[in-house]
Structures are given as C-alpha cells and as structure tokens.
Structure 1
Amino acid sequence: MKAAKKTAIRLTLLASLISSTSVMAADQVTFQLDWLPGGDKAPVYVGIQQGFFADEDLEVKIASGRGSTDALTKMATGQSDIGSSDIGALMAAKAQADVPVVAVFPYFTQAPHAFFVLKSSGIKSIKDLKGKKVATSPFTSSNAFLPLVLKQNGLSESDIKLVKSDPGALAPMMITGSTDTIIAWVTNTALYDAQAKGAGKELIEMPWSNSGLSLYSSSVLASERFLEERPDVAKRFIKAFAKSIEFTYANPDQAGIDLHKMVPEVDASIVSAQIKSIYSLVYNDVTTKDGFGNFTDERIQKTWEYVAEANGLKMDAIDPKTAVNSSFKPE
C-alpha cells in the first residue's frame, strides 16, 4: 500500500515537472504593432485567443506602436522581433540607411490610403479637391504618397490646403466642417461612418487604390537578427500568423470578440465592421493571381517605383528585392 502511494506521488511529481517544462519551453516572441489596436491588427490577437501561436509552442507579447517609422525602429534595434508595418516605409528607410529589417509576409496587397469626405460636400472625385482644405495626421505613411496620387489625378500639393492634426481629431474636423476632407486608411471607415451617422451625416470613402495607386502596403516585417538567430521560431510564427489572418477574415465577428477580450476599450462590433470593410485589401485580384502570402518580384519592383517617386529617391538607391525574404513563409 505504501509502495503504491509512493509510486503515485512520484508519478504526480513527474507529471508536474513535465507540465512545467512544457510551459517553460514555449518560445517568446515580441510582436510590434505600428498603430493602435483595430480591425487591421486583429490577426495577432486572434492568434493568441484561438491558440494558433500556442499550437506552434509560441508565447507572443504585443508591443504598442506609433506609426511605421516607430515600428521599424523598434524592430531594427531589437526591442521587438517581428511586427506589422508599411513595406513602403521599409523600402524608403533602406534606401537611406542600413536598416536590419525585412518583409517576410504580405498582408495588404492593395494600398489602404484614402480620402474621406461628407456626401454633403459635393466632392465626388480627387479632382474636386482643388482649392479644398485637406487634414491629415503627421504620423501616417499616406503623406508620402499624397503628392503622387494628386499628380496621377492632375493636381499638385499647391492645389490643396494641407493641415496636420492629431489622428483622433480628423473625423470630428470633417464632421464639423473644419476641413473639407481628411486623409486616413480605409481601416478607419467603420469608425468614421459611425461618427458621421451619429451626427446625421453620410460618409464617402475615396480609396487611392481606385485612383492609380496600386502597391503592397502593410506587411509582416522582421528583424534580421531574429531571423538569423531563431529561424525555426520565425517559421512557426509566420505559419501561425497566416492561419490567424485567414481565420480573422472568415470570422470577423469572433475576431472582434477576441481583440476586445485583450483590449476591452476597443468595441468588438467596430472591430468586426472594420475587418469586413478592409477584406479587399487582403483578398483581391492580386491574391487571386499570385496566391495568398506570396510576394512577387514584379509587384515588389512596382511598389518600389511608387515609393521612390513619392519620396524623391533615386530608382537605383536599392534593389527592392533585398527588402524581402520569403524563405520563412508556410509551405
């Protein structure tokens, strides 16, 4: 009886040791956001809540960010391992300095930049912005492409009155008539639409991708050091993240709930609406042609040409393919 009891105790201790070792074995990864939590950031929260990262023996910590440049800096300096940022911002940075960060997986295969106006403004196209007041955030990567999209539509920066304001003030400025139009990502459409309707007004979205600007945008980027020192962890993370993207856009309501569980101040229904409104940034004619999760040399080159022109950079400043490393994507 005593021997049986001792054996049971030993087995319990062994099971406990195995369990604790398993928990300790999970690889730690710091994921860098480039902006505030919202529908477009949902996949990383979904990956945690749905257990996709845990299935790959990963424990993911999410770090807040304040724009593409901030996210790039934190990955380049080793504060974060992998994260989301605009591949255009990465290319521009690499053209000017040796930034040890590369894109490893495409997320938005179309540009999210847009003008937003009220229907009552009478503005129906980008050409109608001549002489109008345009408000934007000082942090958005959209600003770099503004001169280019204006040029593609027969305008120049001197044709508009550009003002910069805090991101949270943009929609109220438009709704109250302090500005004729605002610049933001289409990821904000659901939120802005709700704010406009609350004031008894109707919102119109004018995506730049419909006006000549077609390129890769938000992507999964990673520190080169992280990729070199922990390649297996990187592969497992990207595999889980790809699964998280697919789940998010197939189940937007659940994705909203998952994000809300981790960030209670963000409304689940708004997140769900945002995800539905940006579906075409993730799944579109580009992904139909090239496949989900695939960068192509042709589109990378075209993206660089847009970035170089928008930022006044020489076309031969970099080989844009060096900004990408696709060897870690799921097979």
Structure 2
Amino acid sequence: MPRRGRTRTLTRAALLATAGLLALSACGGEEAGPKLELSAALPDAPSDDTVLRVGDPATQVALETSGLIDDLDIDVEWANITGGPKTLEAFRADAIDIGSVADIPPLFAHWTGTDVRIVAARETVDPMEHPTYELGVAPGVDVASIEDLKGKKIAYSPGQAQGALVLNVLREAGLTQDDVEFVEMQSVDDAFSVALAGKQVDVAPLGQTLAKTYLAKYEQDGASTIDPGVRDDAWTLYTPTTVLEDADKAAAIKEYVAAWAQAQQWISDNPDEFAEAYYVDHEGLTPEDAQYVVEALGQFTVPTSWDDVIARHQETVDTLVEAQDQEPLDVETLYDRRYEKAIAAAVEG
C-alpha cells in the first residue's frame, strides 16, 4: 500500500514567526537527510519522516479540490506564501523548501546571493491571447496603447516578473528607459493598484486578479487597462540548492513536481471548479470576477522538454543584463533537468 501524505497549512504570520525561532536555533529545524550531489540521480522515494514545506497555495487548492492530493505520496506542510519577495524571504529564513513564482525571482535570487535551481516550468497555451498581466492606467491618464507610455511614470519592480514585463513592453513600443520615469517599488499585495489610484504612478502592471478589482473600484473615475502586447506567461517552481543536496528532500520534490504537473492540467480542464475553490473561496473574489480571471488566464501546459523554455528565459536574462547592468548568466545552469524527466514521466505516462 502506498503511503498517503498528510498535509498541514501554516498562515504566513505563523510561518515567519516559526522561521524567526529557527533562525536562532543552532540545529536549524528538522534533521537533514543523506547528502546528495547535484549531478547524482534522484532517489526513488524519501524517508518516511520527510516533510516538504511548500509555498504554492493555488496548487494546494487544485490538489485538494480535485482529489489528486490523495495520490500525493509525501508529507507536505503548506505555506500561504506567493510572489517573489515573500518566497525569497521564506527561503532565506529556512521556512519553506520550494516556491511557485514567475521566471524573474529565480534570477534575482541568484544575483543577490541565494543559490537556487528551477525544478518545473509552466506556460500558457495561447500566451498572446491570454496575458498574465494588464497594464493598469491611473484615472485621468491618457494611455490607449503601449506607444503612449512615453513620458509616463511607470511602477517598476526590478526583482519581479512585473519589472521584466515593463522592460519588454518598452522594447516592443520602441521606447527606452530614458523615455519614461520609473518609480521603483515592490509589487506586493495591492501596492501597484493603490499607487495607481493615488496617482503616484501613471501606469503599473497588474495581474489579472488585481486588474479586475482595480477596474471595479476605479473605472468610474476614469481608470483603465491595456494589453501589454508581449509574452508574459512563464511560471516556475524553484528551490534552494541546499534543499536539493538533501536526498530525502530531493526525492520529495520529485513526487511533488509530478503532482504539480497533474494539478496544472486539472486547472485547465476544470476552470469553473478552480475559480470557485481558489479565486472565490481562497482569494475572496466574487464569482463573476473569478470567472473573468480564469477566462483571461486561459489554459496551462506543462512542457516535457525545457529547451524552448530555457531559450526564452535566456532572452529575458539578456534583457536584464543590458537594462539593469546585471552579471551575465547562462540561465540553463539554474535548471535542474533531472526534474524535467520526472515531469515527462508523470505527464506522458
């Protein structure tokens, strides 16, 4: 009989309080498993007492709602953490083992001294028809196309996907950083929509959830959104390399990425059910807004070959190296392709 995983969810406050205590502890939490070289084959299964600490609430909801969680043969401790800054904060506090983010946070983790690896990737089936972000426009500001961004104040988060999106949009519009004014801030919670509403910025990238709620509040005052006109659908799971050097954790991640891939397919096949479970029950959207978001985001696909994913990621790296004077990086060195094979086996098997 397979061992069924137990799950437990921590709130972010409880998680980071625990992390603070762990940071003061000499032992740093649970006992590590056997040492595993990053070039070694992944073990078949973790030891029975292994717990994988996961910051991936959307997948948690998908697994629970679909019933796929019953097939997850590892113990998982869920953390309600999303976004690049919060995930990296949790990594550095040794509070989670794996997080779900876009393609920019792993780059900035590397560039700011946290050694990480990407262990899974997801794309959108029709990325240009279903952008992840809209460009929010402040009330009273005249921006009808990306060419109108010239001379505007734009919210800019250099360590997040929204920052790379802004750079790509400017390039697509034939503009440079000198043609606009960047207002640097982190896109956490609703910071960008608040900045727009207060007219601290003219334009800011908003995820589809925030775009919908922003328009609901401020469209009557003249707020609007426009399509960014560039591809922005890259999504990853990533983890500190120290986690992958623990044989039990590395094996648990192999189990998790397989379940994660199946969950992404379930989300695509069951958008109405996911909208209700995640966007309404978990995120607090109205049913109408939840339906809008799932339709806007479209269907997901989990590639079983990472060649094209890595090539596009390298283009993003090169853009950031040029625009932000970052250190050159061969992005393939951040991908742990052992998990590419594990995902392929789960998706194709």
Gaps of 5+ in 1: 1-17, 34-40, 284-290
1:50 to 50, 66, 81: 66
**Structure 2 unmatched runs, 5+:** 7-47
Q: Which residue of 1 aligns with 2:224?
A: 203
Query: Structure 1 residue 238: deviation in Å?
Result: 0.8
Superposition TM-score, scaled by structure 1 size: 0.71
Cα displacement string for residues 249-306 of structure 1 (whole angstroms, at most 9, x for unaligned residues): 22122112222686374545533432221226x45xxxxxxx6354214334323223
Question: In structure 1, what residue type is equivalent to 2:205?
Answer: I
CA 1:325/1:186 → structure 2, altered by over 3 Å: closer, same or farther?
same
SS of residue matched to 1:221: strand
Q: Alpha-carbon deviation of 1:75?
A: 2.9
Distance 1:215 1:22 in 2: 36
Deviation, 1:152, is 4.5
Once residues 132 and 303 of structure 1 are traced to their aligned partners in structure 2, the CA distance between those partners, rounded to angstroms, is: 23
Q: Which one-letter code corresponds to 2:272 in the other structure?
A: D
1:132 aligned partner = 152
- Find the partner of 2:175 among 155, 158, 163: 155
Name the structure 1 match of 2:316. 303
Match of 1:90 in 2: 106
- Could you list the per-position Cα deviations for residues 77-111 of structure 1 after superposition, in whole angstroms to 9, with x for gaps in the alignment? 532111112332312332453x3321111124668
Residue of structure 2 in register with 1:180 after alignment = 202
Q: Which residue of 2 aligns with 1:100?
A: 115
| Largest Rg, 1 or 2 | 1
Match of 1:218 in 2: 235
> SS where residue 87 of structure 1 aligns?
coil
Q: Deviations over 1:1-55 (max 9, x none)?
A: xxxxxxxxxxxxxxxxx99x8677685322125xxxxxxx633311133232331
> How big is the shift at 1:126?
2.0
Structure-to-structure mapping, 1:1-331, within 5 angstroms = 28-33=51-56, 42-65=58-81, 67-75=83-91, 78-97=94-113, 99-108=114-123, 112-117=132-137, 121-135=141-155, 140-144=160-164, 146-147=166-167, 149-163=169-183, 167-168=189-190, 170-171=192-193, 174=196, 179-197=201-219, 199=220, 203-207=224-228, 210-211=229-230, 214=231, 217-228=234-245, 229-230=247-248, 231-259=250-278, 263=282, 265-267=284-286, 269-279=288-298, 282-283=300-301, 292-296=303-307, 297-315=310-328, 318-328=329-339, 329-330=342-343, 331=345
CA contact (8 A) 1:256 1:269 kept: no
Alignment partner, residue 14 of structure 1: none
* Structure 1 contact 135–182 (Cα < 8 Å) conserved: yes
Amino acid at match of 1:181: V
Q: Indicate how the Cα distance of structure 1 residues 264 and 77 shifts in structure 2: closer, same or farther if over 3 A, else same.
A: closer
With the length of structure 2 as denominator, give the TM-score of the two structures. Answer: 0.67
- Cα distance between partner residues in 1 of 2:210 and 2:280: 20
Q: Which has the higher helix share?
A: 1
> For residues 181 and 313 of structure 2, what CA distance do their matches in structure 1 show?
32
| CA distance 1:190–1:108, shift in 2 (3 Å) | farther
Contact 1:215–1:299, Cα closer than 8 Å, also in 2: no
Identity rate of aligned residues, in percent? Answer: 19
Query: 1:42–1:248: 8 Å Cα contact kept in structure 2?
Result: no
